[in-house]
Structure 1
Amino acid sequence: MTDASAGKAIALFAYDFPHRKSSDFLLELVAAGLRDISVLAAPKKILQHSDEGSYFSRSLVHPSAPDMRELCTRLGVDFHSVEHGDSVRIGEIVRGSGCTLGIIGGARIIPSKVIRIFDQGVINFHPGKIPETSGLDAFFYSVKQDVPVGVTTHFIDGRVDAGHQIWFDETMIGPEDSIEVVIENGYALQRLALRRLLRIIADGGLVPRQPIDRPRKNEPMTARQKWDAVGMFPAWRARHFCRQTVSSLFDACASGLPERVGKILDSSPSFIEARDDNYWTPLIVASYNQHLPVVEKLLSRGANASAAGRKGTTVLMYAKTKLLNQAGADYRLLDFLIDAGADVAARDVFGKSVMDYVIAAGDEHMAQYFLKMQGMA
């Protein structure tokens, strides 16, 4: 990013002790070209009922986070050790610096009186899907509630993990990812979401807002509940890996990406007859969108050329739609389907064949094509 962000004053809520997210977010702001940054660093507190238990292996190596005060000094960033509930002191800092937007790199609950100080609001990056994983233990609630893991970027209000959603980014799951890997990938998504947000701000774009319906927040989990979630993780991982992979396959078919389709089917060949929400197969999607290279790829992998949708609409019926009444239409895709066994005479739940629909559309040229394919012309 260029220095287009320069001159935009931002307050970073952080901790006044070594804290990975606080320091990483500060570095992201500086790397984005921001110069007017005020770090509001909350002093360390001894929390009651904090869970120090370890529920999965921690083998990934991370360098120790730097001291925030020292990091700010080296970067030339204004540093303020201040309680995040101190609206008087924060108000003085914000007015003096001209900050209009707050970003949370590290914070506990920020009260409404502090949020209201910022003309543009305060943005948080919650490590989970809101409202399902509001509060602490977001990852464990993701597994328990059987929802995707990821990052909810949102404007906060006086409630915990509520306000207005900007976007939700889902963490991609690998078939053998450990809990540790899933959580680490989710953390990386927080930094990527911050970068995207800063690009929008630098370009003067509008940040989207969608109200979050969060009737209540989740209570912190007990150790037993966390262990139960750990036990559910393998099945949760398998479900979400399959869902994401199938979604990627359908996106590749709709976008006309044969190499991507082949790569997905190399690792997950059984998904070739998967169904989407419309009950379409990958071949139906590729055929409807006239992506001949993808159709060839799917047929070579054994896709069913006679597959039909929920109402019996065949692949051929879908494939002919965008070709109807088009001058000089290329029928090679139809040729491939018929050569692969697509039944020209098949009828849907309404008792109609592809020929019936072609005649009803008044496409005489295509009607002659299908008559020929049936040996009737």
Structure 2
Amino acid sequence: MSISQAGVELRSLVCRYGPVEAVRSMDLAIAPGEFFTLLGPSGCGKSTTLQAIGGFARPSGGQILAGGEDITHLPPARRPTNYVFQNYALFPHMSVAENVEYGLKRRKVPAGERRQRVLAELERVGMQGFAGRRPTQLSGGQQQRVALARALVNRPAVLLLDEPLSALDFLMRKQLREELKAIQRDIGTTTVFVTHDQSEALSMSDRIAVMNAGRIEQIGTPGEIYERPQSRFVAEFVGSANLLPGRATVADGLSLVLDAGITVCLAGALAPEGQRCLLMVRPEHMRLVEDGAAGGIAATLAKCTYVGDHHELLATLADGSAVTIKQQDRPSLTPGAPCRIAFDETKAHVIPAS
């Protein structure tokens, strides 16, 4: 079964709740068939943006287009979208099959076609044996599958997912996000996914928009967002980041003179002479070496924590700043011992200090 695709475009979208501007003049283009994620902390405006696309929040300004058509003021039922809510929103008095069929009945789809499409979608989400059960007889993961089938059965051009996995335990979330991405890849519908979970966003998305205080901080592929963040907020919100302050010098290509006492040469990076910058190095790209080893930054090992699949080390630099290191092996050094911190300069990235 193929589902038609439609791109989504936001033009200077503004959403206000009284004096609060939840979405601030947002411009965004989502390609047909793309799995696009709005990622950010609570209160950043991501759910409001999704609700505006679905017709559940009224814009205060700007335009919303789907497939090139202006849908800004259309009611939800007249939009080429289907919305999967965080709390599933299943009808408790209806069976699984009746829940999935509900939208088709409202659209007056013939009974024979309704039954065929309901069974096909239940099979797609692995719930074909549960058609006669009520939602209260299902687990959270099963209810989420039913909510997804109810949305897909209407063959939406755009599927809107509002933190659909947040209420599930870790193992169920991991399983369902893999299944959800596989389903989206299979049907090819344009999908806009809202989450505050960085691992969900990185593992599922074609592209991600990181939001903060009603605005988009950065749009990019998961690799671009994680490896080359454009702001301190993105670097710290998506994954863990060591941010070492320094000042740029451009005598022979760009170098960063760190406050910690070393100079780092960075091929391909750009910054004005004398600008205060931050050198971002992810903890997995740092390593601990014994004191006396050549190169690296002088430090003191402060703490070593075993977290299962790796050891997390905390070290203090000469300027008082702290860095985190993730490594597989437990270090031979004990807390309080002098050491040096080394890292692969090709894995480092420069961002503005402000």
Q: Which has the larger radius of gyration?
A: 1
- State the TM-score, normalizing by the size of structure 1: 0.26
- The higher relative CO (CA closer than 8 Å, separation ≥ 6) is in 2
User: Larger strand proportion, structure 1 or 2?
Assistant: 2
- State the TM-score, normalizing by the size of structure 2: 0.27
